[in-house]
Structure 1
Amino acid sequence: MAKSPTPKPADPPALSRRQQFAQTYQMARKSDPALGRWVFGVGLLGLVVGFGVFWLVVGRSSTLGLILSVVGGLMFGVLSGLIVFSRRAQKAVYGQMEGQVGAAAGALGLLKRGWHVDNAIAFTKQQDVVHRVVGPPGILLVGEGSPGRLRALMTGERKRHERVAVDAPVHEILVGNDEGQIPLAKLSRHVQKMKRQVQPAEITDILARLKAIDASRPVVPMPKGPVPTSMKGMRGQMRGR
């Protein structure tokens, strides 16, 4: 009698927006204990300023104006607090990710729709990693680790991609804080600001061609060490509102 197939583990439930906010706050506060005071202080200041502006414009004439002033002040306060929370939480989370294996994968996970990210398409035994991003600028090979070891790894990947996607521009990006490298905290913004060289229809063709490369790769495990994924569910907070 044939054995029944082993059921696949259920995917973890998606976090609600409130749970994502709370998780981001708890994680960011570990390296930024003053986060709560900053958010509260700036939010309170925004409330006062917002109330004052609305009161001067519409609030002095009627009860309705007073209500609008209160609502306007609350809106200003919440918006101000969220902006401060987003900026300080982003700085704190990137600080925690710095130096981890696969940290760039977490940063690239913040890219919006229209970008296709493949994590760890190549790596060394010393845990130097190359990620691939396909988007409007073309093909981006993002390396993190030792520049010396990455040089040969990325050169090989560049040649491999250029043979398959002949007309697609291929760019190399090194993540780090040295000269010629892109800091982790600026990676996603740097990628999005790169010059657009490929149309959406061409991106579809590039992705189809790259399947040939991916199909020929041996099945190998990811290098040891955590790949930060907690940022994927926090895009709203990390990009600001």
Structure 2
Amino acid sequence: MSTPATPPTSRRQQFIQTYRMAKKTDRTIGLWIFGAFILGALMGFAFIWFLPGDGLIAWIMSGVGAFLVGLLLAVTVFGRRAQKAAYGQMEGQVGAAASALTMLRRGWKTDPVVGFNRQQDVVHRVVGPPGIVLVGEGNPTRLRQLMANERRKHERVLPETPIHEVVCGNGEGEVPLPKLVKHVTKLGKNLKPADITDVRNRLKAIDAQRGTVPLPKGPVPTSMKGMRGQQRGR
């Protein structure tokens, strides 16, 4: 007997879940959202009011403009505050980098935990316009060997594809979690969409030999994809 499919989360439910998550560490997020709406509403009302026109139409248009601008500013502030809260909650958890990388837009493919060791140092893989990006999180000394091994495996299959190495952390030469996505997207554009598809297909040879990689013990943060939609105001 097949298990019934889980219904998709609605935009309203997604908003509520994200707000509750952010509220755990950002107690003032409600005030920020309310203040942003009021400020945006005042700006929208004033802008429309001083446009040519008078009478009832002017009042209606100003009211609509106030609501729309207020809503846009409130959603923008909510997205940024919620994202900041999520990064704060994920900091130091195993798999935090993989969760943050779900914020990458279409055209990127993230494969969590393509390499790991007993000490729970892990390496994630991202394929996108820069080429292959190996993202490590854990002890920098142990990661050096772990990432070198993963680089060699990928170079054997894709010797001409650029491979970048990034260590997520707060130490010297590392990329902090909140800046990880931005850092990865700025690594350049070395591959076209067709090249990315070819690379992903050829990587299946490595993944087939690797087999099933067990996730390290400990909490793995929730995906931030829902937050990406909130941040865009959709």
Does TM, scored on the shorter chain, surpass 0.5? yes
Counterpart for residue 137 of structure 1: 130
- Which amino acid counterpart does residue 154 of structure 2 have in structure 1? H
| Pair 1:68-2:68 in alignment | no
Counterpart for residue 153 of structure 1: 146
TM-superposition CA deviations, 1:194-219 (whole Å, max 9, x none): 21001111112111211111111143
Counterpart for residue 195 of structure 1: 188
Q: 1: CA distance between counterparts of 2:181 and 2:192?
A: 20
| Aligned partner of 2:199 among 176, 196, 206 | 206
> What is the count of residue pairs matched by the alignment?
234
CA shift at 1:11, angstroms? Answer: 4.7
Counterpart for residue 4 of structure 1: none
CA shift at 1:234, angstroms? Answer: 2.8
Q: 1: CA distance between counterparts of 2:93 and 2:216?
A: 11
Q: 2: CA distance between counterparts of 1:106 and 1:230?
A: 5
Q: How does 1:157-236 map to 2 (within 5 A)?
A: 157-236=150-229
- Which amino acid counterpart does residue 52 of structure 1 have in structure 2? A
Q: TM-score, normalised by structure 2?
A: 0.95
| Pair 1:102-2:112 in alignment | no
Q: How does 1:43-62 map to 2 (within 5 A)?
A: 43-58=37-52, 61-62=54-55
Q: 2: CA distance between counterparts of 1:85 and 1:200?
A: 33
Give the 4+ runs in structure 1 shifted more than 6 A: none
Structure 1 residues 163 and 185 mapped into 2: Cα distance closer, same or farther (>3 Å)? Answer: same
Q: TM-score, normalised by structure 1?
A: 0.92
SS at 2:126's partner residue? strand
Counterpart for residue 116 of structure 1: 109
- Which amino acid counterpart does residue 67 of structure 2 have in structure 1? L
SS at 1:141's partner residue? strand
SS at 2:145's partner residue? helix
SS at 1:120's partner residue? strand
What percentage of residue pairs aligned between the two structures are identical?
A: 58
CA shift at 1:235, angstroms? Answer: 1.8
Structure 1 residues 176 and 10 mapped into 2: Cα distance closer, same or farther (>3 Å)? Answer: farther
Structure 1 residues 62 and 85 mapped into 2: Cα distance closer, same or farther (>3 Å)? Answer: same
Q: 2: CA distance between counterparts of 1:45 and 1:204?
A: 45
Q: 2: CA distance between counterparts of 1:219 and 1:73?
A: 53
Q: 1: CA distance between counterparts of 2:215 and 2:31?
A: 40
Counterpart for residue 31 of structure 1: 25
- Which amino acid counterpart does residue 201 of structure 2 have in structure 1? A
Q: Which 10-residue stretch deviates more, 99-108 or 188-197?
A: 188-197
- Which amino acid counterpart does residue 195 of structure 1 have in structure 2? G
Counterpart for residue 73 of structure 2: 80
5+ residue gaps, structure 1, are 1-6
- Which amino acid counterpart does residue 14 of structure 2 have in structure 1? Q
